């Protein structure tokens, strides 16, 4: 399967995104809930096959809106979030698909779960909260050795499989600068903003 392209449309108005939607592209990503609600609520009602991916930080008071509007979340990283997401899925009778965000380079300033805790966390998300975890996501450091981290993510995906419980099939990694490298390490979803829409202000 070729990698799917998520067009990261944050900061751009719907009129800039519209030609791509009309062309038939289906996957879009946003990182701010308020902005996404404003831009996507109507068009998603009109075009049922569009998929919206949340790639920002999950905040408690915005979680319900995330479940309402989005189809995928790439930034699930702790139990409290899992519990809330599960609560709103039940309330709204809707199921999303989740990536676990992994802090693959152990960077202090970055979000994400420790690689060694990943498998256990997935197991809890599945068994206790009934969340559909489809893969792993990372935001590796911008360094020469990015490939090392992509390779570690591929290994972590393999070692995080839980037999009979679910299949962890997806990897969300690679942005405008490094998507070709990410695809080399079998990324299945690349998140591209700048290379599609231009520089952000």
Ligand X SMILES: *Cc1c(COP(=O)(O)O)cnc(C)c1O
62 Cβ partners below 8 Å, 6+ apart? 33, 34
Residue of 130, 189, 131 lying closest to 157 (CA atoms): 189
Cβ 55 to ligand X shortest distance, Å: 4
Cβ 201 to ligand X shortest distance, Å: 12
CA distance 30 to 105: 24
**In this complex, which beta carbon is closest to ligand X, that of residue 30 or of residue 84?**
30
Query: Which of 3, 7, 8, 33 is close enough to bind ligand X by CB under 6 A?
Result: 8
The whole-angstrom distance between residue 193's C-alpha and the CA centroid of its chain comes to 14
Task: Report yes or no: 140 and 173 within 8 Å, Cβ to Cβ.
Answer: yes
Choices 15-23, 118-126, 163-171, 185-193 (CB under 6 A): range interacting with ligand X: 185-193
**In this complex, which beta carbon is closest to ligand X, that of residue 152 or of residue 192?**
192
Q: Beta-carbon neighbour count of residue 22 at 10 Å?
A: 9
CA distance 174 to 139: 8
Asked if residue 10 binds ligand X (CB under 6 A), the reply is: yes
Task: Report yes or no: 193 and 177 within 8 Å, Cβ to Cβ.
Answer: no
105 Cβ partners below 8 Å, 6+ apart? 140, 141, 149
Query: Which of 43, 147, 176, 184 is close enough to bind ligand X by CB under 6 A?
Result: 176
Quick note: the x/- pattern for ligand X over 32-71, rule CB under 6 A, is -----------------------x----------------
CA distance 201 to 198: 10
**In this complex, which beta carbon is closest to ligand X, that of residue 86 or of residue 176?**
176
Residues 131 to 150: which contact ligand X by CB under 6 A? 139
**In this complex, which beta carbon is closest to ligand X, that of residue 35 or of residue 123?**
35
Choices 37-45, 124-132, 155-163, 173-181 (CB under 6 A): range interacting with ligand X: 173-181
Binding positions for ligand X, rule: CB under 6 A = 8, 10, 31, 55, 139, 175-177, 191-195
């Amino acid at each position: 399967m070729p990698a799917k392209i998520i067009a990261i449309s944050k900061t751009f108005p719907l009129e800039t995104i519209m030609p791509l939607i009309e062309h038939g592209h289906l996957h879009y990503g946003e990182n701010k809930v308020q902005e996404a609600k404003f831009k996507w609520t109507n068009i998603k009602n009109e075009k049922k096959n569009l998929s919206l991916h949340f790639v920002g930080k999950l905040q408690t008071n915005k979680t319900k809106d995330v479940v309402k509007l989005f189809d995928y979340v790439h930034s699930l990283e702790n139990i409290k979030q899992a519990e809330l997401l599960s609560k709103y899925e039940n309330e709204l009778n809707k199921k999303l698909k989740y990536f676990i965000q992994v802090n693959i380079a152990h960077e202090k300033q970055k979000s994400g779960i420790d690689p060694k805790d990943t498998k256990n966390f997935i197991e809890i998300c599945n068994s206790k909260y009934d969340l559909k975890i489809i893969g792993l996501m990372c935001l590796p450091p911008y360094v020469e050795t990015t490939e090392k981290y992509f390779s570690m993510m591929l290994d972590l995906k393999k070692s995080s499989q839980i037999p009979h419980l679910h299949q962890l099939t997806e990897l969300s990694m690679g942005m405008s600068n490094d998507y070709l490298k990410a695809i080399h390490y079998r990324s299945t979803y690349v998140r591209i903003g700048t290379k599609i829409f231009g520089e952000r202000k």
